[in-house]
Amino acid sequence: MSLTKKRLRMVAVASLTVLVLIYLYKVVLTSTEISPSRSSSSHLLSNGVVEEQHQWPPTEDVEQRNLRIAYEAQNAQLHQQRQELLHTKEQLAHLEEQVRALQAATPRKYPKVKYLNYKNRKRILITGGAGFVGSHLVDDLMIQGHEIIVVDNFFTGRKRNVEHWLGHENFELIHHDIVNPLFIEIDEIYHLASPASPPHYMYNPVKTIKTNTMGTINVLGLAKRVMAKVLIASTSEVYGDPTVHPQPETYWGHVNPIGPRACYDEGKRVSETLSYAYAKQEKVQVRVARIFNTYGPRMHMNDGRVVSNFILQALRNETITVYGNGKQTRSFQYVSDLVDGLIALMASNYTQPVNLGNPVEQTIGEFANIIKHLVGGQSEVKQIKAMEDDPQRRKPDITRAKKRLNWEPKVPLETGLLQTISYFRNELARSDRFQENSRKYFESPDLQRSRP
């Protein structure tokens, strides 16, 4: 009896299995029959639009299908454009890498520098070293073989003034505002940091005062910590509108403490006071140079001083404007003479202030006519309203510099002016060229079309 039950169970299982297999076979057969009908349920018309035929079960209408196909085509096109862009970027990166490799393999040419051994070579900090005077001082000290560290906040200084030294093993450029403390190891400091032209130092009077007070305190504090000698670049403006002519270093000055120039005049007077306070109290080695009107290449084109104003106006065939009646006087020294004087003062043992300027006096009216003659052109000289607190006479007494430093200016006025005019002519051409290229770029039809 048990055997019969086993056989019945086996027959039942086998029958059930056969039924399942038959059902699965029918399902597969049905799906294969439906697939061709779905694949042929639509066809592409001649105009590229898909027409719906007999689709079962219905999932989307003709318009939806056409939108989906257009969307997929657009996505495919965007994908292709992305691939092309990536390929272009890869090519550009490869080219940049080749350029960098070529630059690294090509040794950069620097001006020739004298070799000094470690006993004679000094580490010299120049604040404001990317400015007009500072950059020329950098050139002379680098050529002498010293290690130079330039600190500048680039308010009036420009990297272009020292770019020919970038990368040299003896040169370092630090973007820093000397109003904030600086901690480095040096042997000497030339503190030239401060805007020096009226438009620049009047632009932010509080900042000018801070640079000449807090900046000077930071420099003197650094000199105290590392026992460095420091030269403070003062100015003839400490004499104000002088009542003594010519001005010796013993003259105390005639300054308006609340006038438009006071931020610079009084700032430099306080800078001198701080210097000698540190010298007496902290035994810091201090040198003070009172610098008179200086001109030469790398002057800022828009510094508002007499030389740059007159030269630019003459080069542009504009009216040369003289403030006041033109009878006020100035004395002009070429920048290379000033640099020689600064280096000589730093090397000396003399600690009192020293005038560095040209004792040859010129009226502003005469100077305007000299510029007009050297530049040529059709410019006219015109007198306009005088500036407030404009000094009427300015001429240094350089007896002390001759005696203590064996220094006096050597470059004749005409020679220096011709060099300066050539520099400004090149700068104007460069500025006009860049302006024209910029105009062409921003007015190009391709750029206009690319804008949203």
DSSP characters over 340-379: HHHHHHHHS---S-EEES---EEEHHHHHHHHHHHH-SS-
Query: Could you give the CA distance from residue 369 to residue 364 in angstroms, rounded to a whole number?
Result: 9
Strand partners, 234: 290
Q: What is the DSSP string of 275-320?
A: HHHHHHHH---EEEEEE--EE-TT--TTS--HHHHHHHHHHTT--E
Instruction: Determine the Cα–Cα distance for residues 124 and 148; give it in Å rounded to an integer.
Output: 5
Pick the closest to residue 416 from 349, 311, 302, 333 (CA basis).
Answer: 333
CA distance 42 to 60: 12
> How many beta carbons lie within 10 A of that of residue 32, not counting itself?
9
Residue 223: closest CA among 268, 182, 264:
182
User: pTM for the full model?
Assistant: 0.75
CATH architecture of 123-296+333-358+389-411: 3-Layer(aba) Sandwich (3.40)
* Cα dihedral sign, 326-328-331-332: negative
Give how far Cα 360 sits from Cα of 237, 323, 367, 372, 395, Å.
18, 21, 12, 20, 8
CA distances (Å), origin 200, targets 75, 205, 206: 57, 9, 12
- Residue 442, SS3 per DSSP: helix
Q: Is 122 left (phi over 0), alpha (psi -120 to 50) or beta?
A: beta
Beta strands in 49-168 (DSSP E): 50-52, 123-127, 147-152
56's tokens: 């079962």
- The 3-state DSSP class for residue 123 equals strand
pLDDT of residue 108: 77
Query: Which residue has 């060229």 as its token pair?
Result: 433
Catalytic residue among 264, 278, 295, 334: 264
Kindly give the parts of the chain with pLDDT less than 70: 1-9, 11-16, 18-60, 103, 440-441, 444-452
Q: What is the share, in percent, of the chain residues with pLDDT greater than 70?
A: 84
| pLDDT at residue 44, as a whole number | 44
Judge residue 346's burial from the number of C-beta atoms within 10 Å of its C-beta, 0-12 exposed, 13-18 middle, 19 or more buried. buried
Alpha carbons 34 and 31: distance in angstroms, whole number: 5
The answer to whether residues 334 and 291 touch, using CB atoms and an 8 Å cutoff, is: no
pLDDT for residue 47: 45
Task: Compute the distance between CA of residue 108 and CA of residue 119 in angstroms, rounded to an integer.
Answer: 27
Q: How many CB atoms lie within 10 A of CB 196?
A: 23
- Catalytic residue flag (residue 264): yes
Domain ranges of the chain: 123-296+333-358+389-411
Residue 81 pLDDT: 87
C-alpha gyration radius of the chain:
40
Query: Two tokens at 35?
Result: 């697939």
In 3-state terms, what secondary structure has residue 46? Answer: coil
Mapped onto helix, strand or coil, the DSSP state of residue 334 is strand
pLDDT at 43: 45
Closest CA to 317 of 281, 265, 371: 371
Q: Answer whether 348's CB lies under 8 Å from 391's CB.
A: no
- Cα 255 from Cα 266, distance rounded (Å): 8
3-state secondary structure of 9: helix
Q: Strand 188-191 and strand 147-152: pairing?
A: unpaired
Nearest to 289 by CA among 277, 272, 274: 272
Instruction: Report the first-to-last Cα separation within the chain, whole angstroms.
Output: 93
Instruction: Name the token pair of 208.
Output: 């000018």
Alpha-carbon distance of 402 to 67, in angstroms, equals 92
Q: 3-state class of 138 per DSSP?
A: helix
